[in-house]
Amino acid sequence: MDSLPLSALQHWLFCPRQCALIHVERLWEENRLTAEGRVLHERADEGLPESREGMRVLRSVHVASERLGVHGVADVVEMRGGVPFPVEYKRGRPKAHRADEVQLCAQAICLEEMTGLDVPEGALFYGARRRRQAVAFDADLRGLTERVAAEARAAMAQGALPPPVYEAGRCEACSLHGLCRPQSPRAATGWLARRLARAGVPE
């Protein structure tokens, strides 16, 4: 776990258990919401770099930060006067939590580390609204991003699966609901038994 995918930060802040299921257990199931998100990202990633309105538009930009210990792909990076402006595409609407902002801020930190330039802002494009939401990478957001990255990397390195915490609005929309079984008290016990069996530890 020397480096985590950028998406792990979004997953961790949204739900630590979901993050561990995806990035430790390597489990994934798709539902309508994740399929719509995947298609939106594929459309954003399509096409060659282009120039328009005085800026260079780059797509599917591979980024990484040694300091944060993350890597991934930025959907779109607009070079505005030589300054990177990352744009992350999301299928739904703005959320009450800051998971999307943290993922975008991590992209900015990656770009700063790679280019040596300050990246003061970016944008989130929400498919449900069909418009951008500007995001300023201020000290509070940068601090939150660094804390989330450290927490997620430490947890993933330990290989621990956080216990289920059921919240109807969050859990019922999650594609991993059937694998997570957040309303089952035996979920954590079953996971531990599987981990021990894989390690060859007798019961």
Given a contact cutoff of 8 angstroms between Cβ atoms, the answer to whether 104 and 135 are in contact is: yes
Over residues 26-31, the mean pLDDT reads 67
Q: What are residue 98's phi and psi, to 5 degrees?
A: -110, 25
184: pLDDT strictly greater than 80: no
pLDDT tens figures, 130-140: 889 999 999 99
pLDDT tens figures, 34-83: 555 455 555 555 666 677 777 899 999 999 999 999 999 999 999 999 99
Residue matched to tokens 């994934």 = 28
- What the chain holds in terms of domains, given with CATH numbers, is 4-198 (3.90.320.10)
The rounded distance, in Å, linking the Cα atoms of 72 and 7 is 8
- What 161-170 contacts at long range (C-beta under 8 Å, 24+ apart), as own/partner pairs, is 161/17, 161/20, 161/21, 161/24, 161/25, 161/188, 161/191, 161/192, 161/195, 162/16, 162/17, 162/20, 163/17, 163/187, 163/188, 164/17, 164/188, 165/15, 165/17, 170/14, 170/15
pLDDT band, very low/low/confident/very high, at 190 (cuts 50, 70, 90)? low
3-state secondary structure of 161: coil
pLDDT tens figures, 90-130: 877 777 789 999 999 999 999 999 999 999 999 999 977 78
The rounded distance, in Å, linking the Cα atoms of 175 and 18 is 10
Average pLDDT, the chain: 82
Per-residue model confidence (pLDDT) at position 92: 77
What lies within 8 Å, CB to CB, of 164 at 6+ separation is 17, 180, 181, 182, 183, 184, 187, 188
Using only C-alpha atoms, what is the Rg of the chain? 18
